[in-house]
């Protein structure tokens, strides 16, 4: 028994030392030879905004496919999915009246919203804080009005995604809830902790009752002004104009690249981000950074001559912003092919300084994966918490996949999220490269040690 214990200890130390060298090499490569920043530059500045179904989204599919082929992946393929193609139209305008003076509101249409009449929509406004206020006010007072949902993100949450999660339902369900009470339009406070002039878009949805009313977001600074004007004047008229439209379904694609596992090829680990973006900017942090970090994983493995023990994939999902059709297509294909995804990592929280990872799945697997932390804390990856991992990989949860969310510093993300500031110049090259190295290192450890036994002992 003593000999067996000593043998396992020697194997563990040997594996740990080898992994440490490989991880150091991964970081060295990412920080000196990475293509991630140049790929992001092309994605943002040569292609631009990538709304699902648009020509730019198609260009992004073609570009990333060719880049992954050049990177040397064993196989690269496109996976079709049907997506709704919504267009914004002309730049939106908004206004309110204060003492008979027309004051501007900086607004933008929410994704999937219908248009206003061409001349715009104007009505008396009712301000609410949450959906409970609709019940309190009642249909008689809401009918024919525009509802202004003024629910700020909670600044006391250290992780800003927690605050975002608490508010997301007001943007997504605002038109459905207000429309059910007879409102003719809805204006939602932008989801951001900063006070700025930039409105933040994002997807919304209508209910099954057939009621559809125009929905827009207003900048946080103008939300403050509008709220103050309502409190000062009591009765107030607001208006907005938007010419957005839905063009129906078109075919788009996920982009997938694979390096076949040398020992357990039927066990699959993926790292991915979403290729589509909103159209107010070029989708640099959301989610160009996640796309190029996942692509860089393939480049690093091939350029360092690393052959993973298990199969690894880069998956660039389409349509995360407006329905998640790409994720549904990927999960459906995985089910039909009886593929075994043991772990999936999603990078969709921006390209800021790496902090760690969040884990969702079997408790025992999460605890095993946490043993990797000791290998990566020297690279400032201190946060290893149980929590939500990501919208696209979440569709694999029913398969029993260990879901992992790449977690960079969250403090600045909602300054640029879904607004006109989400541009290439807001991404720091070194932070981007550190993120690529962090994701690649964890993929290496998962590939070598799996998720179903103590990682540093098999």
- Domain boundary (199, 227, 243) is at 243
pLDDT at 17: 87
pLDDT digits (tens, 9 = 90+) for 109-122: 999 999 999 999 99
Least confident of 37-46, 92-101, 220-229, 405-414: 92-101
In the chain, % of residues over pLDDT 70? 95
Query: What is the band of 4 on the pLDDT scale with cuts at 50, 70, 90?
Result: very low
- Asked whether the whole model's pTM tops 0.85, one would answer yes
CATH number of domain containing 177: 3.50.30.30
pLDDT of residue 21: 96
Residue 287 pLDDT greater than 80, yes or no: yes
Domain membership of residue 255 (yes or no) is: yes
Cα 395 to Cα 140, 152, 252, 288, 328, distances in angstroms? 41, 29, 19, 21, 7
Domain range for 140 is 89-243
pLDDT at 385: 93
Going by pLDDT thresholds of 50, 70 and 90, the confidence category of residue 246 is very high
- How distant, in Å, are the alpha carbons of 24, 87, 183, 312, 404 from that of 84? 43, 10, 26, 30, 28
Q: Is residue 8 assigned to a domain?
A: no
Looking at every residue in the chain, the average pLDDT score rounds to: 94
Is 320 labeled as catalytic in the residue annotation?
yes
pLDDT at residue 3 tops 80: no
What is the band of 1 on the pLDDT scale with cuts at 50, 70, 90?
very low
pLDDT band at 279 (very low <50, low <70, confident <90, very high): very high
Residue 100: pLDDT over 90: no
pLDDT-derived band at 9, boundaries 50, 70, 90:
very low
Give the pLDDT band (50/70/90) at residue 458: very low
Which tokens in the block code for residue 205? 């949805």
* 213 in the same domain as 147: yes
Domain boundary among the residues 208, 243, 278 is at 243
Q: Is 236 contained in some domain? A: yes
437, 314: one domain: yes
Can you give the pLDDT at residue 282? 98
Residue 158 region, left (φ>0) first, then alpha (ψ -120 to 50), else beta?
alpha
159 and 181 housed in the same domain: yes
pLDDT at 13 over 50: no
Whether residue 192 sits in one domain with residue 148:
yes
Q: CA torsion sign, 382 to 386 to 387 to 388?
A: positive
* 353, containing H or E segment: none
Residue 8 pLDDT exceeds 80:
no
Structure tokens at 234: 């009591």
Q: What percent of the chain has pLDDT over 90?
A: 92
**Cα–Cα distance for residue pair 391/349, rounded to 1 Å:** 11
**Counting beta carbons within 10 angstroms of the beta carbon of residue 123, is it exposed (0 to 12), middle (13 to 18) or buried (19 or more)?**
middle
Kindly state whether residue 15 falls inside one of the protein's structural domains.
no
pLDDT, position 412: 97
- Residue linked to tokens 């159209």: 279
In a domain, residue 326? The reply is: yes
Model confidence band, residue 15 (pLDDT cutoffs 50, 70, 90) = low
What is d(CA 81, CA 174) in angstroms, rounded to the nearest whole number?
A: 28
Phi and psi at residue 279, to the nearest 5°: -105, 0
Q: What CA–CA distance (Å, rounded) separates 424 from 289?
A: 9
From 6, 36, 85, select the one nearest 314 (Cα to Cα): 36
| Same domain flag for 176 and 287 | no
Beta-bridged to residue 100, according to DSSP, are none
Task: Kindly report the backbone phi and psi dihedral angles of residue 129, in degrees, each rounded to the nearest multiple of 5, phi listed first.
Answer: -100, -40
- Looking up residue 52, the CATH number of its domain turns out to be 3.40.630.10
Confidence tier at 304 by pLDDT (50, 70, 90): very high
pLDDT score for 453: 61
Q: Is residue 220 part of a domain?
A: yes
Rounded Cα distance between 209 and 225, Å, is 33
CB atoms within 10 A of CB 246: 15
What is the pLDDT, as a whole number, of residue 10? 37
Contacts of 264 (CB under 8 A, 6+ apart): 309, 310, 311, 450
Q: Is the pLDDT of residue 233 over 90?
A: no
Handedness of CA 52, 282, 284, 303 (dihedral sign): positive
Edge-first strand listing for the sheet containing 121-128: 101-105, 93-98, 237-241, 121-128, 146-149, 185-189, 215-218, 107-109
Q: Please tell me the total count of domains within the chain.
A: 2
145 vs 98, more confident: 145
Residue 209: predicted pLDDT: 87
Residues 186 and 202 in one domain: yes
Which of 362, 406, 359 is closest to 381 using CA atoms?
406
The model's pLDDT over 318-356, given as tens digits with 9 standing for 90+, comes to 999 999 999 999 999 999 999 999 999 999 999 999 999
The residue from 67, 92, 320, 321 that is catalytic is: 320
Across the strands, what pairs with 264?
Answer: 310
Concatenating the DSSP letter of every residue in 294-308 gives HHHHHHHHHHTT---
* CA separation for the pair 150, 224 (Å, rounded): 9
Identify whether 12 is part of a domain. Answer: no
Confidence of residue 46 (pLDDT cuts 50, 70, 90): very high
CA 315 → CA 271, 322, 326, 327, distances in Å?
Answer: 6, 18, 10, 10
Q: Are residues 375 and 252 both part of a single domain? A: yes
Structure tokens, 16 = 């740990």
Q: Are 441 and 293 in a shared domain?
A: yes
Q: Is the pLDDT of residue 40 over 90?
A: yes
Instruction: Answer yes or no: is 13 within a domain.
Output: no
Of 204, 221, 243, the last residue of a domain is 243
Residues 6+ apart with CB under 8 A from 412: 350, 352
Is a pLDDT exceeding 50 seen at residue 454?
A: no
- Region 60-83: what's the mean pLDDT? 98
Same domain, yes or no, for 326 and 445?
A: yes
Q: What would the two tokens of residue 381 be?
A: 């990856």
| Contact between residue 172 and residue 324 where contact means Cβ atoms under 8 Å apart | no
Asked if residue 41 has pLDDT above 70, the reply is yes
Q: What is the pLDDT of residues 158-216, one digit of tens each?
A: 999 999 999 999 999 999 999 999 999 999 999 999 999 999 999 999 989 899 999 99
199 and 308 fall within a common domain: no
Same domain membership, residue 257 and residue 219: no
pLDDT at 165: 95
Choose between 154 and 3: higher pLDDT. 154
Note whether 224 and 285 are same-domain residues.
Answer: no
Confirm if 312 and 441 have CB atoms less than 8 A apart: no
pLDDT at 369 over 50: yes
- The answer to whether 16 and 375 have CB atoms below 8 angstroms apart is yes
Is the omega angle on the peptide bond into residue 287 within 30 degrees of 0, that is, cis? Answer: yes
């Amino acid at each position: 028994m003593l000999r067996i214990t000593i043998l396992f200890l020697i194997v563990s130390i040997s594996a740990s030392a080898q992994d440490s060298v490989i991880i150091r090499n991964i970081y060295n490569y990412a920080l000196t030879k990475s293509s991630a920043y140049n790929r992001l530059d092309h994605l943002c500045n040569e292609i631009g905004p990538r709304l699902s179904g648009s020509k730019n989204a198609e260009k992004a599919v073609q570009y990333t496919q060719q880049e992954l082929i050049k990177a040397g992946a064993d196989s690269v393929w496109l996976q079709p999915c049907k997506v709704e193609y919504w267009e914004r139209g002309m730049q939106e305008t908004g206004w309110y009246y204060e003492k008979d003076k027309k004051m501007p509101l900086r607004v933008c249409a929410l994704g999937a919203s219908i248009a206003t009449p061409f001349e715009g929509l104007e009505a008396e406004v009712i301000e609410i804080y949450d959906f409970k206020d609709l019940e309190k006010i009642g249909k008689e007072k809401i009918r024919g009005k525009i509802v202004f949902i003024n629910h700020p993100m909670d600044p006391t949450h250290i992780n800003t995604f927690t605050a975002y999660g608490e508010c997301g339902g007001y943007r997504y369900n605002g038109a459905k809830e207000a429309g059910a009470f007879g409102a003719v339009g809805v204006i939602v406070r932008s989801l951001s902790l900063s006070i700025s002039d930039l409105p933040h878009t994002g997807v919304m949805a209508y209910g099954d009752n057939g009621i559809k009313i125009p929905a827009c977001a207003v900048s946080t600074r103008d939300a403050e002004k509008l709220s103050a004007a309502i409190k000062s004047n009591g009765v107030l008229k607001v208006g907005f104009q938007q010419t957005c439209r839905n063009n129906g379904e078109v075919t788009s694609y996920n982009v997938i690249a694979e390096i076949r596992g040398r020992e357990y090829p039927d066990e699959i680990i993926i790292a991915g981000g979403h290729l589509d973006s909103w159209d107010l900017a070029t989708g640099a942090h959301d989610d160009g950074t996640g796309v190029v970090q996942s692509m860089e994983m393939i480049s690093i493995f091939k350029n360092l001559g690393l052959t993973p023990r298990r199969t690894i994939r880069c998956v660039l999902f389409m349509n995360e912003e407006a329905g998640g059709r790409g994720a549904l297509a990927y999960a459906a294909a995985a089910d039909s092919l009886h593929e075994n995804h043991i772990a999936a990592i999603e990078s969709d929280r921006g390209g800021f300084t790496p902090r760690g990872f969040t884990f969702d799945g079997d408790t025992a697997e999460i605890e095993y994966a946490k043993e990797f932390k000791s290998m990566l804390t020297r690279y400032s990856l201190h946060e290893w918490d149980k929590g939500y991992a990501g919208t696209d990989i979440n569709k694999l949860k029913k398969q029993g996949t260990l879901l992992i969310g790449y977690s960079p510093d969250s403090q600045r993300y909602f300054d640029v999220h879904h607004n006109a500031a989400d541009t290439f110049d807001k991404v720091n090259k070194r932070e981007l490269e550190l993120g690529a190295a962090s994701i690649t290192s964890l993929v290496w450890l998962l590939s070598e040690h799996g998720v179903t036994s103590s990682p540093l002992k098999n």
